[in-house]
Amino acid sequence: MGSTSAQNNGEGFGRRDLIKRSAALGLVAVPTMSFLSACASSDSGSGDKAKKGKTSKKNPLGVNETAPLAVTIFDGGFGTKYATDANAEYKKAFPKAKIQFHATQKIQSELQPKFNGGTPPDLIDNSGAEQMDMGVLVGKKQLTDLTPLLDAPSVDDPSKKVRDTLRPGIVEMGQFDGDPVWIMYYAYTVYGVWYSQKALDGLDAQYPETWDDMLALCAKAKKKGIAGWTYAGKYPYYLPFSLYPFIAKIGGREVLDKIDNLEPNAWKDPAVKSAFEAYYELYKKGYVLKGTPGIDHIQSQTAWAKGKALFIPNGSWVENESAKVIPADFQLSVGAPTGLDSSDKMPFGTIWASGGEPFIVPAKANNAEGGMEQLRIMLSEASSKNFTSSVKSLTAFNGGTDGIELTPGLKSGVAALEKAGENVVNPRLQDWYVKLQKEQIGVSCLGEMMAGRLTPAEAIKKAQGYADAAAKDSSIKHYKHQ
């Protein structure tokens, strides 16, 4: 992997695909309105936009061959080598172009003045603790519509458009209000319940498919001194990685859509009640690792990797992020959420999977065509394989695993996606309403409930109150499933 130094340190922001979106790890506030309004009001672009080049078979987006390309990448758990490798491919295609490459963990604070001054880079991986708020960037018309990229011929097969080579849901994730596509999520994350197959074998157990089976397995583990569950107690918005698809499994994906749409009483749906009560039972019966509410994601992952707990809700970045602490014979696996019972609306295998690492081309980019062309190169089979083999994550490119020896977690993630088939859910709350999802639902509701300080009924009432307030808040741009 390109850069491992950040991924296992105490900060833990170095890393991963998806926390970009579930973002900020609660330590950094959402970008302030002063920054966002400053962004919005900066109409004095100081950079000269590169003139568009001639379109051709080799250059379908009409990149200006001599224009410089400025790329800023979040330096996290995926490192930056995948990006510099793609830059090298761009340089081969356009040898006269100078590439300005910059890696940082401080996306917002470094790019804020550039957005303000109308001189942003041409391509940005808007990820990590200082991720800029996507909903605001879209609402303030700060981004370039990536439809030309999606409609361009793919690198590997010019008879196919780029959009036809992508995994399910990727295009939709980049949309906020209908057709324009503002974001290209490059990584592809499988969320779920992560565990050691070796640990289950040691208990002579199968991964549980119903909640009764889950509780029975946790009871069995407890007798051997092993907790059933742990999670990032300080950042409890990791809990939804398994809880939200559990809600969908019980009540159907429309329950999650209503929650995303901030509909009145969405949190009071019986499926939400059942899911909250099931998780609360883990706390009540003492199946959660002692001290979990006070530990962070790295500490919880380390305790789990050391065999102190069977299950942890997480995303597929956990394999790379915890590589130093996961034993060689761990047999890392991911399970779709355990269901409630046979009355569930969706089948066992229903899972949350979606794009990570959101790449954007600013509206005021000097070389927007170059930014899109760099993404087109990254969405080739060769670039995708390079990323997957080096950082243990799938990409948005639908394929790119043939001939690569997959790591245990990656292999398990691919199998989970195959099992899910069409039953993949993608809750949008964490993209559309960052504060609501992280601080309010995550910390104030789920975190408090799992620490035993709120009952499920109280947590649900509180969650609905936060959602209602967000729905009424005219300073927030609201989005809906189309």
The pLDDT tens digits for 380-423 are 999 999 999 888 889 999 988 888 889 999 999 999 999 999 99
The pLDDT tens digits for 212-248 are 999 999 999 999 999 999 999 999 999 999 999 999 9
Return the half-sphere exposure (C-beta side, CA atoms, 13 A cut-off) of residue 296. Answer: 11
Amino acid at 434: V
Q: What is the pLDDT of residue 200?
A: 98
Q: How many CB atoms lie within 10 A of CB 394?
A: 27
The structure tokens listed for 133 are 């708020």
Q: Collapsing DSSP states into helix, strand and coil, what is residue 74?
A: strand
Domains in the chain (CATH in brackets) are 19-189+354-421 (3.40.190.10), 191-352+428-472 (3.40.190.10)
Residue 338: pLDDT band (50, 70, 90) is: very high
Mean pLDDT of 290-300: 96
Residues found in the chain: 482
Residue carrying structure tokens 């080579």:
165
Q: Collapsing DSSP states into helix, strand and coil, what is residue 448?
A: helix
Separation CA 177–CA 78 (nearest Å): 30
Amino acid at 414: V
Residue 479 in contact with residue 310, Cβ under 8 Å?
no
Residue 108 in contact with residue 34, Cβ under 8 Å?
no
pLDDT higher than 70, residue 19? no
Q: Which residue has the higher pLDDT, 140 or 122?
A: 122
Mean pLDDT of 49-73: 94
- H/E segment holding residue 195: strand 184-196
The structure tokens listed for 96 are 């006269």
Q: Collapsing DSSP states into helix, strand and coil, what is residue 5?
A: coil
Short-list 192, 145, 184, 187, CA closest to 336: 192
Separation CA 315–CA 430 (nearest Å): 14
pLDDT higher than 80, residue 88? yes
Residue 48: pLDDT band (50, 70, 90) is: low
pLDDT higher than 80, residue 21? no
Residue 298: pLDDT band (50, 70, 90) is: very high
Mean pLDDT of 46-55: 77
- H/E segment holding residue 310: strand 309-315
Mean pLDDT of 44-58: 74
pTM, two decimals, is 0.79
Q: How many CB atoms lie within 10 A of CB 306?
A: 11
Residues paired with residue 394 on neighbouring β-strands, in sequence order? 188
Separation CA 261–CA 436 (nearest Å): 12
Residue 296, CA distances (Å) to 77, 225, 238 in order: 16, 22, 10
Q: Collapsing DSSP states into helix, strand and coil, what is residue 396?
A: coil
Mean model confidence pLDDT for the chain: 88
| Distance in Å from the first CA to the final CA of the chain | 38
Cα angle 278, 249, 444; round to 5: 50
